[in-house]
């Protein structure tokens, strides 16, 4: 089996693929623009989440603009990636993400773009606090954002920091050669950057129907995972699917009774415009339903900070 080379391959180019690629790397030209468009689209449909989704849409536009301001990055070499993958680590070292000052260039660009955007007062106060924050403090914050280890008081800072880290990680991921990301063992964390999946996506590619990929919440890479299998504990027993009664079943929660976790699964056949990060944010009602039934979410959406606002 060979992985797709050079980023996410447009569906029409995949043709009669017999096996899915192990990894689909993000496309820099479209990754954040797709999120911006999708968030605006869903904001118009979902009045209770309108303000939040418009904020996220503006954030994704700021992320796209920030890409053009990044200095040239230093990628790990092919041999380094091979060694890291051989011992089960992600291709990109996680401490390399927060300690590399490149992401703070993205942060400054995002903070500037977001200045005129309408937002809650707490979000504007957080933006101003980050503008004046020294690099070592920013790096310490970024390390804890990547570990999902923030105090309640710091949560308003998260979307800007996570957005900047996404820009850096997505750019790095897009520069890697997908064929270097072996061995093709399915893991619960992204083989490219080591972050947890934000959702699963069901793709139809060529003659492969509804092939499941786990979608990374940080770098936007997708990695193949067979269906009806818990991405956390690999159990194939006790997997069930939850939807909100009367709502579209394009986004379902896949729950595992073995480890009591869940991850949303999004059908691109039913909702071709869906995007993992945004459609996850736009279905908070499903999180509430499933968590009330005592399944735990694997990891939060990196951009989520305002509860259900
Ligand atoms: Zn990743
Ligand atoms: Zn499980």
Using the mean position of ligand 1's atoms as its centre, give its distance from the Cα of residue 226 in Å. Answer: 18
Domain boundaries, the chain: 28-180, 197-297
How far is ligand 1, taken at its centre, from the CA of residue 261, in Å? 20
Judge whether residue 46 has pLDDT over 70. Answer: yes
Mean pLDDT for 254-278 is 96
Is residue 15 predicted with pLDDT exceeding 50? no
Least confident of 77-91, 147-161, 180-194, 215-229: 180-194
Per-residue pLDDT at 8: 46
Q: What is the pLDDT of residues 151-170, one digit of tens each?
A: 888 889 999 999 999 999 99
Mean pLDDT of the chain: 89
The ligand with the least distance to the CA atom of 146 is: 1
Average pLDDT rounded to a whole number, residues 23-34: 96
Give 209 Cα–ligand 2 centroid separation in angstroms.
24
Give the pLDDT confidence score for residue 307 in this predicted structure.
Answer: 40
Is pLDDT of 10 > 60? Answer: no
The hierarchical CATH code for the domain 28-180 is 3.90.1670.10
Return the ligand number nearest the Cα of 181.
1
Among 205-214, 221-230, 233-242, the minimum mean pLDDT is found in 205-214
Q: What pLDDT is recorded for position 305?
A: 63
> Cα(222) to centroid of ligand 2, in Å?
19
Quick one: tokens of 190? 């992204």
* Closest ligand by atom to 239 CA: 2
Distance (Å) from CA 214 to ligand 1 centroid: 10
Distance (angstroms) between ligand 1 centre and the Cα of 57 equals 21
Confidence (pTM): 0.91
Joined together, the tokens standing for residue 143 give 């390390």
Give the ligand whose atoms come closest to the C-alpha of residue 254: 2
Separation of CA 260 and ligand 1 centre (Å) = 24
Considering only CA atoms, which of 7, 193, 179 is closest in space to residue 94?
Answer: 193
Structure tokens at 246: 């009367």
Q: CA 215, 220, 224, 227: dihedral to nearest 10 degrees?
A: 10
Count CB neighbours of 149 within 10 A. 9
List, for residues 83-136, the tens digit of each pLDDT value.
999 888 999 988 888 888 899 999 999 999 999 999 999 999 999 999 999 999
Ligand nearest to the CA of 90: 1
At residue 81, the pLDDT reads: 92
Taking the CA atoms of the chain, what radius of gyration do you get in angstroms?
Answer: 18
């Amino acid at each position: 089996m060979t992985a797709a080379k050079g980023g996410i391959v447009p569906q029409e180019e995949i043709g009669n693929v017999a096996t899915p690629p192990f990894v689909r790397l993000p496309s820099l030209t479209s990754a954040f623009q797709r999120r911006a468009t999708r968030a605006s689209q869903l904001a118009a449909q979902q009045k209770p989440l309108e303000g939040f989704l418009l904020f996220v849409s503006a954030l994704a536009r700021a992320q796209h603009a920030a890409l053009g301001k990044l200095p040239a990055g230093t990628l790990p070499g092919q041999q380094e990636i091979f060694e890291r993958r051989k011992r089960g680590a992600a291709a990109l070292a996680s401490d390399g993400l927060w300690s590399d000052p490149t992401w703070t260039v993205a942060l400054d660009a995002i903070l500037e773009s977001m200045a005129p955007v309408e937002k809650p007062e707490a979000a504007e106060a957080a933006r101003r606090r980050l503008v004046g924050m020294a690099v070592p403090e920013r790096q310490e914050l970024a390390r804890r954002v990547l570990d999902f280890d923030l105090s309640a008081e710091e949560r308003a800072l998260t979307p800007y920091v996570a957005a900047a880290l996404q820009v850096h990680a997505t750019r790095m991921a897009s520069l890697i050669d997908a064929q270097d990301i072996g061995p093709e063992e399915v893991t619960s964390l992204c083989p490219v950057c080591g972050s947890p999946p934000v959702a699963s996506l069901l793709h139809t590619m060529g003659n492969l129907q509804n092939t499941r990929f786990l979608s990374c919440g940080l770098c936007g890479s997708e990695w193949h995972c067979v269906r009806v299998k818990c991405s956390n504990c690999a159990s194939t027993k006790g997997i069930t699917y939850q939807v909100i009664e009367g709502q579209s079943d394009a986004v379902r929660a896949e729950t595992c009774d073995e480890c009591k976790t869940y991850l949303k699964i999004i059908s691109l056949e039913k909702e071709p415009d869906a995007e993992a990060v945004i459609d996850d944010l736009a279905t908070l009602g499903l999180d509430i339903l499933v968590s009330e039934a005592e399944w735990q979410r694997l990891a939060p959406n990196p951009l989520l900070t305002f509860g259900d606002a």
